[in-house]
A and B are shown apart, each in its own frame.
Chain A
Amino acid sequence: MQTHIISLLVEDHPGVLTRMSGMFTQRGINITSLTVSPCEKEGLSRMTVAIKGSESELEMVRKQLSNLIEVVKVVDLKGNEAIIRDLCLLKVHAKDPEARSEVMQLAESYGAKILDAALDSVTLELTEEAKKIDRFVDLMRHFGVKQLFRTGVTAIGISAGAGGGVEK
C-alpha cells in the first residue's frame, strides 16, 4: 500500500467537498490527509488529497474524480515530480532547563521555528516533507508532546506544467 497524492482543481461551490469525499466513501477508500484552499484562479479551489492504496485503486479514483462535474483538473503527483509539504505545530514539555535547550537545539537543526516559549513548554512550527516531520515529532516525544497539529500535505508539481498537470 503506497501513499498517493492527488491534486484537484475544483469549482468553489458549496457541496463540492462532500461530493469529492463521498466518492472515496462509496468506494471504501480512506483519505489520509486533505487540504482545501483558494488557488490562482478566482472561483476555483485546490484540494490536495493523500490516500493509501494500490495502483489500480489510484487509477479508479483518478477516473471517478474526473467524472465529477465540478472537478476541473486531476493531477496524480508522483514524489519525484513534486514538492510536497506538510505544516506541523506542536507544543513540547520543557520545564527542565536541560530539556529546554535540547528541544531548541533539535528544533534548529530541523529548521523548525520557535513560535512561543513559556515556563513549562515550547511551541514549534515545522514545514517539511511528511516523513521528516514524522521523525521530528518522534524525537520530540522523548520530551513529551502536549499538543500536535498537522495540516496534511499540500503539493506542487515541478515538471513542465508546474502545479498544473493534465486538463480533463
Chain B
Amino acid sequence: MAKQKLSGAEIVVEELKTEGAEVAFGIPGGALLDLYDVLYKEEAIRHILMRHEQCAAHAADGYARVSGKAGVCIATSGPGATNLVTGLANANMDSSPVVALTGQVPTSVIGTNAFQEASTFTITMPITKHNFLVKRTEDLPKTIHNAFYIANTGRKGVVLVDLPTDILAGVAEVDLHPKETFAGYKPNIRPNQVQIKRAVEVLANAERPLILAGGGVISADAAAELRHLADFLCAPVVTTLMGKGAIPENHPFCLGMAGMHGQLYANRAINECDALLALGTRFSDRTTGWQLDQFAPDATLIHVDIDTAEINKNMQVDIPIVGDVKLALSGILKLLEKKREKKGGSEWEKRIKKMHETCDSCVEDISMERASVSDILIKEISRILDDDAIVTTEVGQCQMFAAHYYMTRKPRAFISSGGLGTMGFGFPAAIGAKVAAPDKKVVDIAGDGSFLMTCQDLATCVENDIQVVVCILDNRYLGMVRQWQELFYEKKYAQTGLGVTPDFVKLAEAFGCYGERVEKPEELKDALNNAFESGKPAVLDMIVGKEDKVLPMIPPGGGITGMIGTERCKHI
C-alpha cells in the first residue's frame, strides 16, 4: 500500500480499526483533544464516556474477559493516567488483554512538571506487560500494532501507549498496518511433544487423576478440550477462582473451586490425588494454602502454562509443559486415546461422584438456621439466572459467596478480580461485559463497601443504556475484613463498620436507575424480575446479616486439609 499522509491522531484511529477495536472506554482531556477530534467523526469505534478512569480500565478489562478480544481504554495525561493505574494493574495480574492509550504533555516539555504531567511510562512499567512512550508520529502504526499483538498473544496482559500531544497533532507519511514486531518477543505457543508424552504416560497409569483448571483454560478457549479429557480420564476437575466456568459446575466430575474459600471436597481431592494436571494456573497462595506439603503430596505434578516464568515459581513440578493450554490438551488427548480405551467405574470415580452429590445436596439443603442470608441469596441468583448470564463480582465476602455458591455454567461467564483483589472492580467490569455481550443478562454481585468505590458510573450506564443489575449484599461492614477480625482478632472491629451508608435505592433512583430493597431472600426473585423488566440499569439492595461469614475457609497460614467452619457441611 502506498504511503499516506496522516496526523498522529488519525493514524491511531486507523490502526485501532485495523486491530478490530470496536469499542473504547475513556474520558477525554486537554492532552487528547486531537485524538477525540478524530474519534468524533469516526463511526466504526463506539466510545463510551466513563465517569472515572479507573472504571474505564475495569470496563475494558471486563469487555476483554467476556469477548476474548483486547479491551481499549483511554485517559488523558497526569491524573487521567494515574487514575487508570489500579485498573491496569488489575487486568495485568489476571492476564486480561487490555490496550490503554494515554495522553501526554508535548515532548518538548516532558520532564518539566508541566500542567497535568505525570511520568505515565515509568509509573505503569511494573504493572503492564509492556508500555510505550511514542516519540515520533511515524512510529505510531507499528506501536499500535505491537500494542495489540503483545496484549493478545502469549500470556495476555496490558499494554499502554503514552501519546504526547505533539505526536498526535503531528503529520507523517506512513505505511499503515505494518506487521513488524520485536525480535525478542516470541511467545511459547507449541508445547514440547516429549513432555506431552511424559504427561500422557503419567495420566494413563494414574489411579486417582485430578485436573486443576485455572484462568488459562478460559483465555485459551480450551473448555471443550478440558471437558473431553475429564470425560475420557473420568478425572474430577477442580478450578481456581479464575478458572470458574472452565467446566460447567454442574458437570458430575466438577468439584468446584478449590483453595482458601473453596469447596471442602475440591480441596480434599487435591490432597488425595496421585496425578495432578494443572492447567493455566500459577498456584497462587489463595489456591494452594500455605502448607504446601498438604497440596497433592502423593501426586505427580504436571503443569501446563504459557508463561515459562510460572514453572517452578510457586510449586516444584515434575512435568512442566510450556505452551498454549488448548494445544497441550489436544496433544494429550490425541496420544491418550491411542494409548488406551476410556475406562470408567474406578473406585476414584465412584468416590468423586459421591463427593459431588453430597456437596451438591448440602448446598441445596442450606436452610435459614444453617446458613447466612448471603449464601441463600447467591444460590437464589444462581437458580434464577440462565446458563448464558454473566456474573461479575466485587471483592471480599460478596466475591467469595459468589465463588462458592454461584454455579457457573459457561466459560467467560464469571468475571472476578483474582490477583489484585480490587474493590470496585465488579460494577465497571459488568459495564464492559454488557457492552461485549448486550444480549446476555449481566449481574454484579457486590458488597456495600465495594460498590461505593465506583458507583458514580451508574451515570454511564444510564447515559449509554447499559442495563446491568447490581445486587448488593448489604451488611454495612467491610465484611471480609470484619470476618477476619471476628475469627482471628478477638472481634475488635477496627474501622470495618461503615455506619450510615447511603440509601442505595434512592441512590439508584437519583441516577435514573431502577432501585429496590430486598429484605428477605424470598423477595429476591420478584425484585430481579422487576430489575430486568424495568429496562434500566438497576440496583438491588439486599439486606444481609451483619455477621454473615463465608465458610468453610482455610485460616491464614493453614493448609488445604485444614479448613475451618466445616460444621455447616452436613456430610462431615
A contacts, CB < 8 Å to B: 10-11, 14-15, 18-19, 22, 26, 56, 59-60, 63-64, 66-73, 168
Of B129, B182, B185, B309, the contact of A64 (CB 8 Å cutoff): B309
The listed residue (B135, B184, B307, B309) touching A69 by CB distance below 8 A is: B184
25 contacts between A and B (CB under 8 A): A11-B182, A11-B183, A15-B122, A15-B125, A15-B133, A18-B125, A22-B125, A22-B126, A59-B312, A63-B308, A63-B309, A63-B311, A64-B309, A66-B308, A66-B309, A68-B184, A69-B129, A69-B130, A69-B150, A69-B182, A69-B185, A70-B182, A70-B184, A73-B184, A168-B186
Residue B121 CB within 8 A of the other chain: yes
Q: Which chain A residue has the least Cβ–Cβ distance from B182?
A: A69
Closest 8 CB pairs of A and B: A72-B184, A63-B309, A69-B130, A69-B185, A63-B308, A71-B184, A72-B183, A64-B309
What residue of chain A has the Cβ atom nearest to residue B309's Cβ?
A63
Cα–Cα, bound, A56→B315 (Å): 12
Per-residue interface assignment for chain B, residues 122 to 150, with 1 indicating a CB less than 8 Å from any chain A CB and 0 otherwise: 10011001100101000000000000001
Q: Report B465 CB to chain A, min CB distance, Å.
A: 39
- List chain B residues, Cβ under 8 A from A73: 184
In Å, the complex CA distance between A83 and B129 comes to: 34
Query: Is A15 a contact partner of B182 (Cβ separation < 8 A)?
Result: no
**In the complex where A11-B182, A72-B183 touch, is A67 in contact with B125 (Cβ < 8 A)?**
no
**Whole-angstrom distance between the alpha carbons of A70 and B133 in the complex?**
14
Interface centre among B122, B126, B133, B184 (most CB of A within 10 A): B184
Which of A18, A22, A68, A69 counts the most chain B CB atoms within 10 A?
A69
Residues on A with C-beta less than 8 A from B183 are 11, 72
CA of A60 to CA of B309, assembled, Å: 6
Which residues of A are found within 8 Å of B307, using beta-carbon distances?
67
Contacts of B309 in A (CB 8 A): 60, 63-64, 66-67
Considering only CB atoms, which chain B residue lies closest to A61 in the complex? B309
Minimum CB–CB distance from A162 to chain B (whole Å) comes to 20
- Bound CA–CA A11/B313 (angstroms): 27
Residues of chain A with a CB closer than 8 A to B133's CB: 14-15
Closest beta carbon of chain A to B214's beta carbon, Å: 18
B interface list, Cβ under 8 A from A: 121-122, 125-126, 129-130, 133, 135, 150, 182-186, 307-309, 311-313
B121's contact among A11, A15, A26, by CB below 8 Å, is which?
A15
Residues of B near A10 (CB, < 8 A) are 184
Residues of B within 8 A of A14 (CB): 133, 135
Docked CA distance A69–B135 (Å): 18
Number of A-B contacts (CB under 8 A): 44
User: In the complex, which residues of chain B have a beta carbon less than 8 angstroms from the beta carbon of A63?
Assistant: 308-309, 311
The residue of chain B having its C-beta at the shortest distance from the C-beta of A9 within the complex is: B184
Q: Which of B126, B150, B309, B313 has the most CB of A within 10 A?
A: B309
Q: CB distance B184 to A60 under 8 Å?
A: no
Q: How far is B133's CA from A68's CA once the two chains are assembled, in angstroms?
A: 16
Bound CA–CA A56/B314 (angstroms) = 11
Distance of A10 from chain B, by nearest CB (Å):
8
A70, B309: Cα distance in complex, Å: 16
Give, as a whole number of angstroms, the nearest-CB distance from B256 to chain A.
Answer: 32
Q: How far is the CB of B496 from chain A (nearest CB, A)?
A: 30
Given contacts A14-B135, A56-B312, A60-B309, 13 further A-B contacts (CB under 8 A): A11-B182, A11-B183, A15-B122, A19-B125, A63-B311, A67-B307, A68-B184, A69-B130, A69-B150, A69-B182, A69-B185, A70-B182, A72-B184
Q: Are B312 and A11 in contact (CB under 8 A)?
A: no
Bound-state Cα–Cα, A116 to B312, Å: 53
Chain A residues whose C-beta falls within 8 Å of the C-beta of B312 in the assembled complex: 56, 59
Provide the bound-state CA to CA distance between A11 and B135, in Å: 16
When distances are taken between beta carbons in the complex, the residues of chain A under 8 Å from B311 are 63
Using Cβ atoms and an 8 Å threshold, which residues of chain B touch A56?
312
- CB-CB < 8 A to A60: which residues of B? 309, 313
Residues of A contacting B313 with CB < 8 Å?
60
- Inside 8 A of B126's CB, which chain A residues have their CB? 22, 26
Counting chain A CB atoms within 10 Å of each CB, the highest count among B125, B133, B307 belongs to B125
Residue of B nearest to A25 (CB): B126
Closest to A23 in B: B126
Q: B186: nearest residue on chain A (CB-CB)?
A: A168
Q: Write the nearest CB–CB distance from A107 to chain B, whole angstroms.
A: 43
Residues of B within 8 A of A59 (CB): 312
Inter-chain CA distance A149–B476, complex, in Å, is 62
Q: How far is the CB of A7 from chain B (nearest CB, A)?
A: 14
Complex Cα gap A79–B329 (Å): 40
Minimum Cβ distance to chain B for residue A67 (Å): 6
A48 vs chain B, min Cβ distance (A): 17
On chain A, the residues within 8 Å of B129 by CB distance are 69
Q: Which residues of B contact A64 (CB under 8 A)?
A: 309
Cβ–Cβ < 8 Å partners of B125 in chain A? 15, 18-19, 22
State how many angstroms separate the Cβ of A41 from the closest Cβ of chain B.
10
Closest residue to A71 on the B side, CB-wise?
A: B184
In chain A, what residue has the closest Cβ to B154? A67
Expressed in whole angstroms, the minimum distance between the Cβ of B311 and any Cβ of chain A is: 8
Complex alpha-carbon distance, A60 and B186, angstroms:
18
Contacts of B185 in A (CB 8 A): 69
CB distance from B99 to the nearest CB of A (A): 14
How distant is the Cα of A68 from the Cα of B130 in the complex, in angstroms? 8
Q: How far is the CB of B156 from chain A (nearest CB, A)?
A: 13
User: For residue A18, which residues in chain B have a CB less than 8 angstroms away from its CB?
Assistant: 122, 125
Compute how far the CA of A156 lies from the CA of B183 in the bound complex, rounded to whole angstroms: 22
Give Cα distance in the complex from A14 to B308, angstroms. Answer: 26
Min distance, Cβ B216 to any Cβ of chain A, angstroms:
16
- The CA of A19 and the CA of B124, in the complex, are separated in Å by 10
**Min CB–CB distance B478 → chain A (angstroms):** 28
CB of B303 to closest CB in A, whole Å: 14
Chain A residue at smallest Cβ distance from B133: A15
CA distance A64 to B313 in the complex (A): 11
A61-B58 Cα distance, complex, nearest whole Å: 30
For the complex, what is the distance from the CA of A70 to the CA of B125, rounded to whole Å?
13
By beta carbon, the residue of chain A nearest B187 is: A67
Q: How far is the CB of A24 from chain B (nearest CB, A)?
A: 11
Determine the distance from Cα of A60 to Cα of B314 in the docked complex, in whole angstroms: 11
What is the bound-complex CA distance between A33 and B125, given in angstroms? 22
**Residues on A with beta carbons closer than 8 Å to the beta carbon of B186:** 168
Nearest B residue (CB) for A70: B184
The residue on B at minimum CB distance from A56 is B312
Q: How far is the CA of A26 from the CA of B311 in the complex (A)?
A: 18
Q: Say how far A101's CB is from chain B's closest CB, in angstroms.
A: 52
Give every chain B residue within 8 A of A72 (Cβ-Cβ): 183-184
